[in-house]
Structure 1
Amino acid sequence: MKYIFVTGGVVSSLGKGVATASLGALLRARGYKVTAVKIDPYINIDAGTMRPYEHGEVFVTASGAETDLDIGNYERFLDLDVPEGSNITTGQVYLEVIRKERAGDYLSQTVQVIPHITDEIKRRIRVAGEKAGAEIVIVEVGGTVGDIESLPFLEAIRQLRFDEGEENTLYLHLTLVPYLPTSHEFKTKPTQHSVASLRAVGISPDIVMVRSAKRLPDDITRKIAMFTSVRPGNVFTSYDVPHVYEVPLALEEQGLGKVVEAHLALEPILPNLGVWQEAARIIKTPPREVTIAIAGKYTAMPDAYLSLLEALTHAGIANGARVNVKWVNAEELANESDPGDLERHFADTDGVLVPGGFGIRGIEGKIRAASYARDTKLPYLGICLGMQIAVIEFARSIGLERANSSEFDPYSPHKVIDLMPEQLEVAGLGGTMRLGDWPMQLRGGTKLAELYGVPSGGTVMERHRHRYEVNPAYVEKVQAAGLVVSGVTPGMAGRGAGLVEAIELPDHPFFVGLQSHPEFKSRPMRPSAPFVGFIRAALAHRREERQLDAPIAVSAASS
């Protein structure tokens, strides 16, 4: 295997994840088997208990790992399911080393950062690559050079060059070059200091990539090359573009792929970038547009819904449309009693999406959003909690007063959403959750079965991250009132009918809820079927409302 190590300097949140994913996309476009690993120096074991306002969404892998959102970028750009162990944290490393020490694996040795911690880091990187069957492993080291918690990881990747050889390792350092409009200058000094800090720990970058508002002039790249001791052709600009899917194209146009090929002694290959070119074309000059309202509680932090936003973009590309998002704060909806308030929030939208989440804040607002969509025939998509919200709202509409989830109202007379009996005895935060890929048996003749390409019914796999389920005691009652259970978990926990995985309303243009998180499996080249159907319905609503004559064309990518 060959290894590419991506480090960052100057400030955090520069976009190392997008740079890593974009480089991986360029190598994938050349036909190489690539995987990516994210190193997070925090002491948490995983991202599962972190606040979305601080770290963005928790991305769940097929194996059920709760990871950093950059893992989602890797899966989308590389079109792969990363293997277990692709998100390495300080907590994981130290826990394993301490376990081995207690088990006597180190015999009488004094256990130290070098070699024991660094050896464990290197082992985990190699194992992640082996599990993926990768030819090239791209490793992103979180944080910035100079952070005290990153030092063991920087030492580990320094050692890997000696272990694997210079022709099999490449160091790429991402920094910031700010532009001062008052003096009309690009300032390179922060980059110079950042590279100097990296070299102080024994790593000299082979490639310097800089973030800036616009592409750097040649004289600035030559200056950076001289002061950082890299070749002039090895300085690249990751400049601002309208959408992240244009980043691979911008980097390839500058020659990044060819430089990596040369350094790692790879065969020169002409990349197939058709997917990214088509995505950029539709996003920049869309034949049509659609507006979706997202009723959530993290509206001030869009990264909390990153995969969801990307799935909407993918579905828009498949339908030949740009998807615009209108954020609707669910807590504000909960506090508004005038029916006109709902009209103010949703009248200029073509669909309502209620995303997943935990906790009681904004719940009544989300219920009001679902009620508005059901009453006005506005396309509705409920994801995880959004499906449970739809069930609660429907239950109340058929006379089950105060229907609710036991998560929000333990004294509700109708707990249509509840923990299952086998979950009640589980201790430990996260222990009661369903995580990772689970099967969903689709009922023939439903919208969802048609969207997934199994009109007569069949089983598909989707990602999960939830704790509460639709209460089986109420399934027959809501079905008798007209709610269709279009998907179930086959045979879970000995239940013949399984747990409810998806619902829909047959007399509605599009009213669908899924217990899973299909956005986690959506890719630009393979968009999520429920999202494609949702955007198609929203486009139909937009055409009907605005009396547009243009037909709704769906590209081959949606099939």
Structure 2
Amino acid sequence: MARFIFITGGVVSSLGKGLASAALGALLQARGYTVRLRKLDPYLNVDPGTMSPFEHGEVFVTDDGAETDLDLGHYERFTGVAARNTDSVSSGRIYSNVLEKERRGDYLGKTIQVIPHVTNEIKDFISIGEDEVDFMLCEIGGTVGDIEGLPFFEAIRQFGQDKPRGQCVFMHLTLLPYIKASGELKTKPTQHSVKEMRSIGLAPDILVCRSEGPIPEKEREKLALFCNVRPDAVIAAQDLKSIYEAPLAYHREGMDQAVLDAFGIAPAPKPNLDVWEDVADRIHNPEGEVRVAIVGKYTQLEDAYKSIAEALTHGGMANRVRVVAEWIDAEIFEREDPAPWLEGFHAILVPGGFGERGTEGKIKAAEFARTRKIPYLGICLGMQMAVIEAARNLADLGDAGSEEFDHEAGKKRFTPVVYHLKEWVQGNHKVKRKPGDDKGGTMRLGAYDAVLTEGTKVAEVYGNTAIEERHRHRYEVDIRYRDALEKQGLIFSGMSPDGRLPEIVEVKDHPWFIGVQFHPELKSKPFAPHPLFRDFVRAAKDNSRLV
């Protein structure tokens, strides 16, 4: 039966609870334990799938088709454990489940209340798969004191009481602000945060204190005294140059040992940190640098493309180079020539997105990469825009467009090279969708197989002709235009097993030009870079020698 670690936050948001949880999971793995990480989010959306990237950052998609919080990406990247739809839940999902049960009569006419019905639903979620791993790490979104988080805090308080003594540990992440004028590191915000936790029946066993520098011994003792934790359970979380330093940094601070001590596990197995030492070495000792332009729609918020940024870093580590990613708003190219913006970059990446804004700029970026022989990776919408560009400029389909924006905007007649996907095969059954369906959870989501053509660039990159990748889209390149495009050198090198849905295209006689309908960035890890990102950065590295 699993031991449970609940990670909460206080003082302010965005302190790095997800990163701390992921790093702790990696450290427990290094000691030989199995782990699973979960995220409990207090917001009322059923999932992040319909939330704007500017609101919530990227949507991370699991193999089984769940649209989840971006923290699950951190969990996967640090532990290698594939997330599932049971690893992410929101207040919206919890309340939806409770109301569905009430409508079915499952509560036998009882009055439905937060306690016990909502808290029981949360506890049931936490318990899923508890016999599968040694440690279950559950991160609670938001901060202590948020009104919407109260049901979750009450649920984990009850959960800790329900389990045998010593089976649950509470770790609290707070901020230690440094007041420059007085030269002091202030502990009062942390004290108040712990006081707030105690007022709702929770007491942290471990304090993780985010700070710009080390915690002096005097302040560490003060925190231990006033927050009622052991001095060696006060862990400094200092600012780092790279998130991939976190496992080693937290280990030096004694986080994993403090957790094992809190559970009374002695003697503790010694950790094997060779993987993370190699990762750190590759980050800090690059043998070159490449510049990659990311031409996207949500460039004002880097978290909107979090997994892409990390996958590029992983590709750089595999090639012993530092990847300098520069974000360029695609709308600029709808007004200006892309050449002055893109000259000097060693590679161009066009990521996914939704809606018409910026799409003509993405098409121009794809054209620039194709005609200038610059390595290009198009992901999801980035692939579709590359196909439309080829259809317009190579296959004599000057009115080529996509139903996603052209049809819905009521524009003049056009050639729908990209259409609304209304039917596809998932497992052993057909899925059907209509344009007017609800937006949430109605896309082609999760892992699907693809078959690669032997002798193509992608088959060489993967070293295989059978792959499985994660999808998140509702529009698809129309197979009817395949022959016309392939005659002009745009090869459909990856297809769904039934041969109906294009998964990958590549430009013949180009150093490296690949578009994929899926999201390879979601499966990349620092110790196992995704093949496409590894080879894309290699191509950028080769191009840097020519520029």
Once the 2 structures are TM-superposed, how far is the Cα of residue 223 of structure 1 from its aligned partner?
Answer: 1.1
Secondary structure, aligned partner of 1:417 = strand
Task: Give the Cα separation in 2 of the matches to 1:405 and 1:503.
Answer: 17
* Aligned counterparts, 1:125-144, within 5 A: 125-130=126-131, 133-144=132-143
Amino acid at match of 1:429: K
Q: Tell me if the contact between 1:282 and 1:322 (Cα under 8 Å) persists in the aligned partners.
A: no
Following superposition, which runs of at least 4 residues in structure 1 exceed 3 angstroms of deviation?
420-426
- The answer to whether the aligner puts 1:151 opposite 2:175 as a matched pair is no
Equivalent residue for 1:433?
443
Task: Give the Cα separation in 2 of the matches to 1:128 and 1:346.
Answer: 49
Once the 2 structures are TM-superposed, how far is the Cα of residue 412 of structure 1 from its aligned partner?
Answer: 4.5
Equivalent residue for 2:476?
469
Task: Give the Cα separation in 1 of the matches to 2:100 and 2:326.
Answer: 49
Amino acid at match of 1:162: Q
* Aligned counterparts, 1:85-104, within 5 A: 85-104=86-105
Task: Give the Cα separation in 2 of the matches to 1:429 and 1:421.
Answer: 13
* Aligned counterparts, 1:213-292, within 5 A: 213-266=212-265, 267-292=267-292
Once the 2 structures are TM-superposed, how far is the Cα of residue 516 of structure 1 from its aligned partner?
Answer: 0.2
* Aligned counterparts, 1:396-407, within 5 A: 396-398=392-394, 399-407=396-404
Once the 2 structures are TM-superposed, how far is the Cα of residue 498 of structure 1 from its aligned partner?
Answer: 2.2
Question: Normalising to structure 2: TM-score of the pair?
Answer: 0.95
Once the 2 structures are TM-superposed, how far is the Cα of residue 165 of structure 1 from its aligned partner?
Answer: 2.4
Once the 2 structures are TM-superposed, how far is the Cα of residue 109 of structure 1 from its aligned partner?
Answer: 2.7
Task: Give the Cα separation in 1 of the matches to 2:310 and 2:129.
Answer: 25
- The answer to whether the aligner puts 1:390 opposite 2:391 as a matched pair is no
Once the 2 structures are TM-superposed, how far is the Cα of residue 451 of structure 1 from its aligned partner?
Answer: 1.0
Distance 1:69 1:437, change over 3 A: same
Q: Deviations over 1:229-249 (max 9, x none)?
A: 100110001110001111111
Unaligned ranges ≥5, structure 1: 492-496, 546-559
Q: Tell me if the contact between 1:129 and 1:137 (Cα under 8 Å) persists in the aligned partners.
A: yes
Q: Tell me if the contact between 2:22 and 2:75 (Cα under 8 Å) persists in the aligned partners.
A: yes
Distance 1:421 1:201, change over 3 A: closer
Distance 1:425 1:388, change over 3 A: closer
* Aligned counterparts, 1:439-458, within 5 A: 439-454=449-464, 458=465
Equivalent residue for 2:55?
54
Once the 2 structures are TM-superposed, how far is the Cα of residue 129 of structure 1 from its aligned partner?
Answer: 3.7
Which stretch of the first structure deviates more once superposed, 271-280 or 520-529?
Answer: 271-280
Task: Give the Cα separation in 2 of the matches to 1:129 and 1:240.
Answer: 33
Once the 2 structures are TM-superposed, how far is the Cα of residue 83 of structure 1 from its aligned partner?
Answer: 2.1
Distance 1:431 1:10, change over 3 A: closer
Equivalent residue for 1:297?
297
Q: Tell me if the contact between 2:312 and 2:533 (Cα under 8 Å) persists in the aligned partners.
A: yes
Once the 2 structures are TM-superposed, how far is the Cα of residue 285 of structure 1 from its aligned partner?
Answer: 2.4
Secondary structure, aligned partner of 1:154 = helix
Amino acid at match of 2:457: K
Amino acid at match of 1:367: I
Equivalent residue for 2:111?
110
* Aligned counterparts, 1:409-558, within 5 A: 409-410=406-407, 411-422=412-423, 423-424=433-434, 427-430=437-440, 432-454=442-464, 458-491=465-498, 497-545=499-547
Q: Tell me if the contact between 1:286 and 1:320 (Cα under 8 Å) persists in the aligned partners.
A: yes
Unaligned ranges ≥5, structure 2: 424-432
Equivalent residue for 1:346?
342
Equivalent residue for 1:548?
none
Task: Give the Cα separation in 1 of the matches to 2:128 and 2:436.
Answer: 31
Q: Tell me if the contact between 2:421 and 2:474 (Cα under 8 Å) persists in the aligned partners.
A: no
Q: Tell me if the contact between 2:279 and 2:527 (Cα under 8 Å) persists in the aligned partners.
A: no
* Aligned counterparts, 1:354-373, within 5 A: 354-373=350-369
Task: Give the Cα separation in 2 of the matches to 1:373 and 1:183.
Answer: 53
Q: Deviations over 1:484-524 (max 9, x none)?
A: 11100111xxxxx2210000012000000000001001111
Task: Give the Cα separation in 2 of the matches to 1:9 and 1:318.
Answer: 37
Amino acid at match of 1:531: F
Secondary structure, aligned partner of 2:50 = coil
Once the 2 structures are TM-superposed, how far is the Cα of residue 425 of structure 1 from its aligned partner?
Answer: 6.4
Equivalent residue for 2:426?
none
- How many residues were matched structurally? 531
Equivalent residue for 2:428?
none
Task: Give the Cα separation in 1 of the matches to 2:157 and 2:327.
Answer: 44
Equivalent residue for 2:4?
3
Task: Give the Cα separation in 1 of the matches to 2:165 and 2:25.
Answer: 20
Q: Deviations over 1:430-457 (max 9, x none)?
A: 4641000010111110111111112xxx
Amino acid at match of 1:368: K
Amino acid at match of 1:274: D
Secondary structure, aligned partner of 1:182 = coil
Equivalent residue for 2:427?
none
Q: Deviations over 1:445-488 (max 9, x none)?
A: 0111111112xxx2110000001000121111111211111100
Secondary structure, aligned partner of 1:287 = coil
Task: Give the Cα separation in 1 of the matches to 2:271 and 2:360.
Answer: 50
Distance 1:478 1:181, change over 3 A: same
Q: Deviations over 1:249-295 (max 9, x none)?
A: 11101111111112223351121222222222222221111110000
Once the 2 structures are TM-superposed, how far is the Cα of residue 172 of structure 1 from its aligned partner?
Answer: 0.3
Secondary structure, aligned partner of 1:473 = helix
Distance 1:412 1:479, change over 3 A: farther
Q: Tell me if the contact between 2:49 and 2:441 (Cα under 8 Å) persists in the aligned partners.
A: no
Task: Give the Cα separation in 1 of the matches to 2:90 and 2:129.
Answer: 13
Amino acid at match of 2:362: K
Q: Deviations over 1:277-317 (max 9, x none)?
A: 22222222211111100000111100000001111111111
Question: Normalising to structure 1: TM-score of the pair?
Answer: 0.93
Q: Tell me if the contact between 1:440 and 1:490 (Cα under 8 Å) persists in the aligned partners.
A: yes
